[in-house]
Chains A and B, each alone.
Chain A
Amino acid sequence: MTTSSGERPGAGAELLRCDKLVIGHRGQALLPAIDLGIRRGSFLAVIGRNGSGKSTWLRTLLGFLRPLSGRVARSSPPPLLAYMAQAMTIDPLLPVRAIDLVRWGRLSGWGFARPEAGDGVRDRERRALDAAGAAPLAETLFRDLSEGQKQRVLLARLYARDPDVALLDEPTSAMDAVAERQALAGLRALTRERGAAVILVTHLLGLAAEYADEILLFDRDGGAIVHGSPATVFAAPAFKQQYGDLELRHAR
């Protein structure tokens, strides 16, 4: 997973790895240890009932929470990460335009201390807005947008970053059905065309089955983690126990 030249890891290279990773709060483990690698170009959907540990796992991957044991390893050089949070973390009074938020997506490390980039980057920001279906919203104040539109703008910010690994926590929860499908298609394009890895926490089982390559099911009640192709996970007893037959039919 390391390149001798120091360049970004190539296709199929492992970008993140969970080694015997135990997640939880205040010393209380939520799930059994997780051993999992995230490879370039992969699309992983993370599913599970409310409180099953999906967001906790994502926040542990990001370094916001410490693992109870085990570790999260990153490739060398470290992959470029982008994150879209579950809750709207932008203050509702903040008077910034959508395009300003998308521009923040281009910042890395101490890059803010360098002069602002030129036309090439401006094109990239516009393309990101286009890809997220947010181009008409560019000049609108973010606070004046509907929740679904805000999510599209934040998705555009994630695209503008051109990340190695995109981590998204229910990024379409306020979107309409059409926008949801466009968002999932856009994320799949990110994996296919840009070679990024996408980790998507979602409750949209049908769309997850349609767009993701792999599914990770957290079954906190049964103390189980199921990982595999959508077909494999949906056939697992843990899935049926969690979601029942109705959701299974939707998922298929």
Chain B
Amino acid sequence: MHGDAPTWQMFIDGWELFRDPILCALGAGAVLGFLGVYVVLRRMVFVSAAVTQSAGLGIALAFYSEIHGGPAVDPIVGAVLLALGATMLLAVDTRSFKVPREVLLGFAFAAGGGATILVGDHISQEAHDIQSILFGSAVLVRGLDLVLVLATGATALGLHLWWYRGLTFASFDPEAARVQGLPVRFLSNFLLVSIGAMAGVSARALGSLPVFAFSVMPAAAALALGARLSWAFAIAALIGAFSGVAGYVLAFFGQLPVGGSQTVVVSGFLLLAFAVRIVARLRAR
């Protein structure tokens, strides 16, 4: 996105080119924003970081394998597999190691990030791709990535809306839900798998950093605004979707990297929400 100063006419003329990445950002932002309410309220921000970092490693390993004569694995498969693997770390009982569960997530985050850089060092001809894995530069997305993001997002969102009452009860008062016979473990695993799968497919298209931002910032902003739970899900989804599109448009006009632009836009919503809270508090005095 360098050259002459971009104009709206150029944007409209290039719509065929921009449509898929914008749809991808819209879908991923909306669904990750929605899921983020669970991430934030269940104190799983670290999980989200570990999952997105692992997805990045999965993409890097897929590139490495292809370049160095290993089995041809589509990067999106690598991303989803490692993202789901990171979510499964939550199922490991760490008490026998005398450490809290967060240590394993920290391991996934640090080891995933470090390994991505090391693997990236060995696939220098694909250095641009590694940049996009880590920070996102989704100027273009493949048709397959778009289909997977939208299909995974629609499936996850549909099931989440259908099972909304069970998922919220089991997530926020698991003991009582268990006493009442709800399949708490199934619902908890479904939640983690849906976060892992969505982060995995989105990371290939958008990059790990914006995916992490979409899975935390919109929900945090909605909750900071004081929204009721059901409204928080809706507002977070809207902020995520808007930020995905607005970040792309900003990147086009500002000739900026897309992932960084999307991350800054979505983070701006959290700052805005904090500012609204501060103003509301001052006015209440």
Contact = CB atoms under 8 A, between A and B. Distances in A.
B106 interface: no
B70 to A, nearest CB: 43
Given A82-B179, A83-B179, A112-B182, A95 B169 contact: no
A96 B165 contact: no
A101 B172 CA distance: 10
A97 interface: yes
Interface in B171-202: 172-173, 175-183
Contacts of A89: 173, 175-176
Given A83-B175, A104-B169, A107-B177, A113 B162 contact: yes
Interface string A11-35: 0000000000000000000000000
A112 B165 contact: yes
Interface in B24-79: 41
A109 B181 contact: yes
Nearest to A64: B175
Contact of B165 (A85, A90, A116): A116
B239 to A, nearest CB: 16
Interface in B110-154: none
Nearest to A59: B175
B226 A95 contact: yes
A161 B176 CA distance: 11
A44 B172 CA distance: 29
Contacts of A213: none
B175 A107 contact: no
Interface residues of A, number: 33
Contacts of B176: 83-85, 89, 104, 157
B193 to A, nearest CB: 17
Q: Which of B173, B179, B229, B232 has the most CB of A within 10 A?
A: B179
A105 B173 CA distance: 11
Interface in A87-130: 89-91, 93-97, 100-101, 103-105, 107-113, 116
SS class, residues of chain B in contact with chain A: helix
Contact of B172 (A84, A91, A113, A116): A91
A232 B121 CA distance: 79
Interface string A33-48: 0000000000000000
Contacts of B179: 62, 81-83, 167
Contacts of A103: 165
A95 B180 contact: no
A141 interface: yes
A81 to B, nearest CB: 5
A110 B172 contact: no
Contact of A107 (B172, B182, B223, B228): B182
B107 interface: no
Interface string A148-161: 00000000010001
Give the interface residue-count category, chain B.
20 to 34
Contacts of A107: 165-166, 169, 177, 180, 182
Contacts of A157: 176
Contacts of A110: 166, 182-183
B177 A93 contact: no
Nearest to B187: A112
Q: Which of A94, A96, A97, A112 has the most CB of B within 10 A?
A: A112
A113 B163 contact: yes
B227 interface: yes
B172 A90 contact: yes
B230 to A, nearest CB: 8
Interface string A64-85: 1000000000000000011111
A91 B175 contact: no
A83 B180 CA distance: 8
Nearest to A90: B173
B259 to A, nearest CB: 29
B229 A94 contact: yes
A104 B165 contact: yes
Interface in B4-26: none
A83 B164 CA distance: 22
Nearest to B169: A104
Interface in A152-184: 157, 161, 167
A96 B180 CA distance: 19
Q: Which of B181, B223, B226, B227 has the most CB of A within 10 A?
A: B181
Given A104-B177, A107-B177, A96 B182 contact: no
A38 to B, nearest CB: 15
Listed from nearest, the 4 A-B pairs whose CB atoms lie closest are A112-B166, A83-B179, A112-B165, A104-B169
Interface of B: 41, 162-169, 172-173, 175-183, 223, 226-229, 232
6 contacts: A90-B173, A95-B228, A95-B229, A95-B232, A104-B173, A107-B169
Interface of A: 62-64, 81-85, 89-91, 93-97, 100-101, 103-105, 107-113, 116, 141, 157, 161, 167
